[in-house]
Amino acid sequence: MERVIALLSEKNTYLEKFYFLNEQELINFGEGNFETVEPFYHARDKILDLISCLDGLLDEENKRMPAEITNSQKIEVGDLLRAKDELVKAILAQDLQLLAYIEKEKSNIIRDLRGSTQARRAVGAYGNTERMKELDEKP
């Protein structure tokens, strides 16, 4: 049972790292800095892979768990599971904020691209008008 408790504790540690990684990126996104998106997602993926490995180890340990578990072990596991649930809820809230920042930036980029296209069309139309005048003025 001690191994299960150690694995749960380690899982919570990685969830905390994930949370703080998100927190830092929220600051960056809030400042309009999206230069670190790729390393951010890469780091998140690595942490999620580690958590997945821990979940696999927890599954194996649960299959071998002894029938008798002390009250203090039950309490400790319960506390660790509640902490995990709180971290997961906080991470989900962060992810919603991150997605909102990304959507906002995506909309800004699309708006800028549309503006650039319209400006090019206007310049192109102006250029064609000037050429037409030149051709009309030549004998």
Give residue 131's pLDDT band: very low, low, confident or very high (50, 70, 90). low
With a cut of 70, say whether residue 84 has pLDDT above it. Answer: yes
With a cut of 80, say whether residue 127 has pLDDT above it. Answer: no
User: pTM higher than 0.95, yes or no?
Assistant: no
Structural domain boundaries in the chain: 2-137
| Torsion, Cα of 64, 65, 68, 74 (10° steps) | 180
Phi, psi of 82, rounded to the nearest 5 degrees: -65, -40
Residue 105 carries which side chain, given as an amino acid letter? Answer: E
What would the DSSP string read from start to end of 33-65?
A: --TTHHHHHHHHHHHHHHHHHHHHHHHHHHHT-
